[in-house]
Amino acid sequence: MAVYGAYGYQGKLVVAELARRDIDAILIGRDPVRLASVGAADAERRTADADDHDGLRVALRGADVVINCAGPFTVSGQPVIRAAVAAGCHYVDTAGEQHYLRKVFDTFSSEGEVTIVPGANDDCLPSDLIAALVAPLVAPVEEVTIALDLTSGGSSPSRGTLRSALADPETFTTGGEVYDRGQWRADVPVRCHSLIFPGAPEPAAVVKFALPGVATVPRHLPANWVEGVARAELVTAFGSLTPELIEKLPEGPTPEQRRTATFVVTVDAIGVDGRRARGVVEGADPYGTTAVIAVEAAYRLAIDPPEPGALTPAQAYDSAGFLNALVSSAVSWTVEELP
């Protein structure tokens, strides 16, 4: 299994998860010095740049799956996918950029003989899988609201996460798109302005946010409306980003900060007849959980690949089976019909 961007913050966590599971790894990156510093003694190391199609294709030779951790994915994603297709190598990435995800599905829906699953992270994959489990409770579905709540553990996001956001700043500051009766639109507001997160005593104010699930859920779930929201302070934080500020921050959270950080993804579905259902996925250590998710996603492609082309997580995997596989990593999930 190959890891592109192996010496980045998220890449090193993915490499550690592969080692924990005794999966052989090929570490790929642009800088041979930084690549040599990754603590995986038995791993093979290969140097390649995303801009070098032939070099990257050769670097991927012999790998059954590549996990791309090298954001911003608006820059690196499609070149690595093309090299993976040329090398006959399945593809997974940890992207969360809404526009990038839409481009992947539009561009690679039926290309090559490999399977492409973008968005294998703590936000996109859980929301996509849980939406597939919630929808049947109220089908036919009129409206889906995907919501994100995070606690940081006293740290900022990784520099890689922030650089990815800065690569498409307008999307993150304006809230991105909603799905409205067959079209993704940036020019309409969300319908949900407050909701009660699991365990909270009262509703929290939420605002439109460019969640990746808005790009994936409509690909497999017939719904007239899909929107993404998050707590207002999260949106404000992304709006204050500058390149100078990012470079002054640590590479990413410390291990202790990761352990105390939490995430909650909720998916609320409303049927055309007004029935309601909710799915919840929650856990700790978003970056560590993303590493587990990415490796699990890649492993499943390697042992039992679905149809080729670009697929959302819910199209590529059994939703309940995948979520159950995450329970051992302190992730919990529930689905229920509401009064």
Q: Is 309 exposed, middle or buried (0-12, 13-18, 19+ CB in 10 A)?
A: middle
Q: Do domains 2-121+290-319 and 124-286+332-338 have the same CATH topology?
A: no
- Mean pLDDT score of the chain, rounded to an integer? 93
- pLDDT tens string 210-257: 999 999 999 999 999 999 999 887 777 666 667 787 888 888 999 999
- pLDDT tens string 34-64: 999 998 878 999 999 999 999 999 999 999 9
Tokens read off for 305: 């690949």
Judged by DSSP in three states, 191 sits in coil
pLDDT at 164: 82
Phi/psi-derived region of residue 303, left when phi > 0, alpha when psi is between -120 and 50, beta in every other case: alpha
Q: Is 187 exposed, middle or buried (0-12, 13-18, 19+ CB in 10 A)?
A: exposed
Judged by DSSP in three states, 137 sits in helix
pLDDT at 228: 98
CA distance 43 to 23: 10
Task: Indicate whether 31 pLDDT > 80.
Answer: yes
Q: What is the DSSP letter of 44?
A: E
CA distance 127 to 29: 30
Closest CA to 296 of 263, 269, 264, 331: 331
Tokens read off for 277: 């259902």
pLDDT at 320: 98
pLDDT at 234: 74
Domain range annotation of the chain = 2-121+290-319, 124-286+332-338
CA distance 314 to 55: 32
CA distance 12 to 8: 6
Q: List, edge to edge, every strand of the sheet that includes 44-47.
A: 44-47, 26-29, 2-4, 65-68, 90-93, 115-117, 309-310
| Total residues found in the chain within this entry | 339
Helix 9-20, helix 286-303: angle, nearest 10: 60
Closest CA to 278 of 114, 144, 93: 144
Q: Other CB atoms closer than 10 Å to residue 102's CB: what's the count? A: 19
Q: Which amino acid is at 306?
A: P
244 near 134, Cβ under 8 Å? no
CA distance 153 to 156: 9
- pLDDT tens string 70-96: 989 999 999 999 999 999 999 999 999
CA distance 144 to 7: 37
In this prediction the pTM is 0.95
Instruction: Specify the DSSP element, H or E, that contains 173.
Output: helix 169-174
CA distance 151 to 286: 10
Q: Give the class (CATH, top level) of 2-121+290-319.
A: alpha beta
CATH number of 124-286+332-338: 3.30.360.10
Tokens read off for 112: 């090559």
pLDDT at 238: 67
